[in-house]
Structures are given as structure tokens and as C-alpha cells.
Amino acid sequence: MTAPGGMPEDTSGVAGGDQCAATPGDRFDDEDYPAYSMGGAAELLGVTPAFLRALGAARLIEPQRSAGGHRRYSRYQLRLAARARELVDQGTALEAACRIIVLEDQLAEALRINAALQQSQAQRPNAAR
């Protein structure tokens, strides 16, 4: 699945995945499990709820919704929001910060794929070089 802004996002254990099959212990390690309320996320990051809503409007992060309709954020989304705050604090416009984060994430994913391909090629006997 691709997160808003074109970023690849692992959705194991969240919307589209089978949350019911996961045990509570599995959720501790799940980067994509929406464990944080808006207030909790804002407090952890040292931002206002309005900042988190602005990131949603900019389509950098799109929080899951609880059964009651409240926004819920994952650790992955909190890392993106923390990076956005860092860039905004340095004077970068919010929209530009979001684009930078998207590009950074795409580059990291491309590097990960490239490393995996190189590793699989190196493990093949008689691999053409």
C-alpha cells in the first residue's frame, strides 16, 4: 500500500490487514498499529493537534479512525510527523517539508530494494556479473 504523498507503507495489522488475527503482544512491535490518540501523539511530539491536522491536510499522514471516529496514529506516522516538525522548525514551509519527507522515504525504499537485489544476486552461484 502507498501512504498519502506516494510513500510506501506497510499495512500489516492495520486497515486492509487482519487486525483481529493479531494478538495484543504482536501490536507492541507493529510500526503501523494506530496506537496513539491525537492528544497523545501531539504531546509526544511537542506539537499541537492543529499541526497534526495540517499534516493530514497536506496528505503526509492519514491517521486511522477509531470506532468513535477519533484520529489514531501509528509509530511510523509519528516518525514522519517528527521529521516534519524538525524541518518546519528549521524554517521550511510545511508543504515543502512534506515533499522532502516523501522523497526521503522513496529514496530509502529504493536503496533497500537495491541492497536486497544485490544480496540475492551475490548469493546465486554462477551469477552473471
Residue 52 lies in a domain: yes
Domain assignment present for residue 129? The answer is no
For residue 46, the enclosing domain spans 2-123
CATH of the domain at 44: 1.10.1660.10
What does the pLDDT read at residue 10? 43
Instruction: State the cell numbers at 10.
Output: 506497510
9 part of a folded domain: yes
Which residues are CB-contacts of 82 (< 8 A; sequence separation ≥ 6)?
45
CA distance 107 to 105: 5
Question: For residue 2, is pLDDT > 60?
Answer: no
- For residues 22-37, give the mean pLDDT: 76
Tell whether the model's pLDDT for residue 14 goes beyond 80: no
Q: In this predicted structure, what is the pLDDT of residue 30?
A: 77
Please report the pLDDT score of residue 25 as a whole number. 66
Kindly state whether residue 62 falls inside one of the protein's structural domains. yes
Crossing angle of helices 94-123/75-89, nearest 10°? 130
Task: Tell me, yes or no, whether 118 lies in a domain.
Answer: yes
pLDDT digits (tens, 9 = 90+) for 82-98: 999 999 999 999 999 99
Domain total of the chain: 1
pLDDT digits (tens, 9 = 90+) for 103-115: 999 999 999 999 9
| pLDDT, position 106 | 97
Task: Report pLDDT digits (tens) over 32-91.
Answer: 888 899 999 999 999 999 999 999 999 999 999 999 999 999 999 999 999 999 999 999
Residue 128 inside a domain? The answer is no
